[in-house]
Amino acid sequence: MGEPMNISKIKSEIAKTSSEEVLNSYLEKINKSKINGYSTVYDEAVEEARDIDKNGHDGILAGVPVAVKDNISTDGIPTTCCSRILEGYTPPYDAHVVERLKSEGAIVIGKTNMDEFAMGTSTETSCYGPTLNPWDTGKVPGGSSGGSAAVIASDEAPVSLGSDTGGSVRCPASYCGVVGLKPTYGTVSRYGLISYANSLEQIGPLANNVSDVAIMMDVIGGHDTRDSTSVSQKTNYQNTLKDDVNGLKIGIPEEYFGEGIDPEVEESVWNAINKFEDMGATWEKVSMPNTSYALSAYYIIAMSEASSNLARFDGTQYGYRADGDNWHVMASRTRAEGFGTEVQRRILLGTYALSAGYYDKYYLKALKVRTLVKQDFENALSNVDVLMTPTMPTTAFKLGEKIKDPLSLYLADVNTVPVNLAGVPSISVPCGFSDGLPIGLQIIGKHFNESTILQAAYSFEQNTDYNAGRPGEVE
């Protein structure tokens, strides 16, 4: 299938041919694809490409097709969160990140498949059916941004956007052998992101290489007055990338290499760490004692916020509406028929955790644990520049293997959710293979220090060939 496409190559192709021709080449692949990576393909994208060819555009993404996760609002393009309850909903506005993409000339090629309302680790809970992993179509692509990663791995888009609440960008990046970044909380505006858990989630880019992730961050990052959590940060990540990790101090949290980590995953990650050492970095073990409590705290907080956020979906204003003699019957039936099993489960658990008599016992205690987890990161990163861990404890698992066992799905997030509790940045880059399936290395940095983890990931990428192939080309 050839070497992965990147923004630079796309721009070269556009210069030689046209934006329309490049876009059509992607649309042709999408039409033939069997991985079910898209929930919607944008019919008018060709017209936008023709307009760029006719009138020109000086943006750094001019004519570049971008895939956008189906929980990010796009004006005129259906945005359903892959849920029946938002059936037929088309937003009248663009999310902040989509505005930024369009201002640089990017063309939204379509919306990517995802776990319903971003609740899942496998992209199996979508009302459009599961997305398949391009490396092995019998395996999951990860979630909840599985479509956003799979379309890159299968060369159906050069770059994409996902959202990360507890690993939902990094998990599919690891399973699909691409690069995925979860930025520092507040670095990218959440305006236009349909909320799952406001205090945890961030929009993040996925691509075939670190350079394209840096370009995407330069485009989508920055302050937005419509998001009260948005911070003012200068972004110039492209120009900070250089092949140099000499003197980089790496921390290895022992708690991230414990029970449940596949031996081949652990071996590949340690090989990567040793590679960094060969390149001039040093490493030391660090302790993060509250890691074992992070998963429980995360799910209590996330589900509690979800129960509040999803209360707005009652059939009154938009989306699916069931019949009922009065509002109470209509809303109850709408939610019962519109929400899938996993979403209903999380709403019920979150409502329970917030109910009288249990708020202090569960939710308040989870918030206290969150503070301790954040302090763990601050302490661990006080003496080192970055932390390195496996992104996921295993490679991609089989379709249907864990969907009926929610607890095992939740446990798969053990290495990613602490990052969201702390709000620090984290990137997943390919670092090896096990039985032909990709393995991801997670590099975690200090708050607002994306440049360091991007440079570390870039240097690793430049000195290895893990991301040089395509599905079906790995021995």
Over residues 452-462, the pLDDT tens digits come to 999 999 999 99
Q: What is the pLDDT of residues 290-343, one digit of tens each?
A: 999 999 999 999 999 999 999 999 999 889 999 999 999 999 999 999 999 999
Q: What is the mean pLDDT of residues 174-203?
A: 97
DSSP assignment of 132-171:
PBTTBTTB---SSSHHHHHHHHTTS-SEEEEEESSSTTHH
pLDDT at position 473, please? 56
Least confident range from 313-317, 386-390, 420-424, 441-445: namely 313-317
Strand 386-390's sheet: what is its strand order? 38-41, 107-112, 65-69, 159-164, 202-207, 179-182, 426-434, 437-444, 386-390, 249-253, 282-286
Residue 34's pLDDT band, with cuts at 50, 70 and 90, is very high
pLDDT at position 40, please? 98
Write out the H or E segment, with its range, that includes residue 23.
helix 19-32
Least confident range from 71-80, 182-191, 317-326: namely 317-326
CB-count exposure of residue 35 (10 Å: 0-12, 13-18, 19+): buried
Per 3-state DSSP, what percentage of the chain is helix, strand, and coil (rounded to 5)? 40, 15, 45
Q: Which residue has the tokens 């409502």?
A: 351
Give the SS3 label for residue 329. Answer: helix
Tell me whether residue 144 is one of the annotated catalytic residues.
yes
Residue 475's pLDDT band, with cuts at 50, 70 and 90, is very low
Least confident range from 234-238, 273-277, 375-379, 459-463: namely 234-238
Write out the H or E segment, with its range, that includes residue 325.
none
pLDDT at position 235, please? 77
**169: which 2 tokens?**
């960008």
Residue 178's pLDDT band, with cuts at 50, 70 and 90, is very high
Q: What angle do CA 230, 123, 213 make, to 5 degrees?
A: 45
Measured CA to CA, the distance from residue 182 to residue 432 in angstroms comes to: 21
**16: which 2 tokens?**
């030689």
Of 19, 39, 69, 83, the active-site residue reads: 69
Of 39, 73, 83, 144, the active-site residue reads: 144
Give the SS3 label for residue 104. Answer: coil
Q: Name all domains of the chain by residue range, CATH numbers in brackets.
A: 7-247+426-462 (3.90.1300.10)
Measured CA to CA, the distance from residue 280 to residue 432 in angstroms comes to: 21
**Which among 475, 468, 474, 466 is positioned nearest to 174, based on CA atoms?**
466
The answer to whether 82 and 114 are in contact (CB under 8 A) is yes
Query: What number of CA atoms fall less than 13 Å from residue 54's CA on the CB side?
Result: 6
Q: Which residue has the tokens 């798969």?
A: 412
Measured CA to CA, the distance from residue 181 to residue 198 in angstroms comes to: 18
In the chain, the amino acid numbered 75 is D
Tell me whether residue 69 is one of the annotated catalytic residues.
yes
- Phi/psi at 106 (5° precision): -70, 150
Q: Which residue has the tokens 């359903």?
A: 80
Measured CA to CA, the distance from residue 27 to residue 125 in angstroms comes to: 25
**Which among 430, 337, 416, 349 is positioned nearest to 144, based on CA atoms?**
416
pLDDT at position 1, please? 41
**56: which 2 tokens?**
């020109």
* Alpha-carbon distances, residue 387 vs 61, 214, 273 (angstroms): 32, 19, 10
Measured CA to CA, the distance from residue 167 to residue 415 in angstroms comes to: 8
Of 19, 122, 154, 168, the active-site residue reads: 168
The answer to whether 455 and 244 are in contact (CB under 8 A) is yes
Could you tell me the pTM of the whole model?
A: 0.97
In the chain, the amino acid numbered 399 is L
